[in-house]
Chains A and B, each alone.
Chain A
Amino acid sequence: QSALTQPASVSGSPGQSITISCTGTRSDVGGYNYVSWYQNHPGKAPKLMICEVSNRPSGVSNRFSGSKSGNTASLTISGLQAEDEADYYCSSYTSSSTWVFGGGTKLTVL
């Protein structure tokens, strides 16, 4: 149950777009379309941003989008806003009927 691999940090200026990658294996990210993304502000519960690789829950801004290619999933945030500054985590279902999170990516809006 190794954690999925995410960059430790990314940054961008307001209005720009950024992409966060999430790399796993064929036993998790590559094997299932059960990849989801969470936004986590310090001291608050995580918030679901993307589910099933690319589906956006009701109420989530359409500036957030997800995709997957092979064993790597990606979260793209377009039109960066100051309120997007947070930690982001990917998660995947695994072949062991367990779940695994990525190590998290700190997004800084410059």
Chain B
Amino acid sequence: QVQLVESGGGVVQPGRSLRLSCTASGFTFSHISMHWVRQAPGKGLEWVAVITYNGSNKYYADSVKGRFTISRDNSKNTVYLQVNSLRPEDTAVYYCAREGVRDGYHKGFFDYWGQGMLVTVSS
């Protein structure tokens, strides 16, 4: 069965960096675009970034552009989110999510999610 397991979260001081990881199993990882989505405490879902199946295309939310970098290692079935210059407003539960595919085409929805991991930015 499909599983997405995130790691790398924790408490970090403002201005510092973290690398979040999401390791996938149960499907052909190298064929699927992967996303990061976050949810600040008591707030709604916010889409963060996407990386296409082969890593050739990456897109970001305006709120993180220039500070966050998404990448993947298909040999390790893992997608990463490098988060730099962290701000208190980046405090959130970070989820990785798989983009759904039907008839061989990516269809713009998130069909499997990781359990989420909390990143707290505080001095």
On A, residues with C-beta under 8 Å from B are 1, 3, 32, 34, 36, 38, 40, 45-48, 51-52, 57, 87, 89, 91-93, 96-104
Contact = CB atoms under 8 A, between A and B. Distances in A.
On chain B, which size bracket covers the interface? 20 to 34
Q: Binding site of B, secondary structure by majority: helix, strand, loop or mixed?
A: strand
A45 B111 contact: no
Interface of B: 35, 37, 44-47, 50, 57, 59-63, 95, 100, 102, 107-111, 113-116
B45 A104 contact: yes
Contacts of B47: 91, 98-101
B59 A48 contact: no
Given A34-B107, A93-B108, A99-B50, A51 B95 contact: no
Question: Which of B45, B100, B111 has its CB near the most chain A CB atoms (within 10 A)?
Answer: B45
Nearest to A40: B45
Given A34-B108, A51-B100, A89-B44, 7 more contacts: A36-B110, A45-B116, A51-B108, A98-B50, A99-B47, A100-B47, A101-B44
Given A101-B45, A103-B44, A104-B44, A32 B115 contact: no
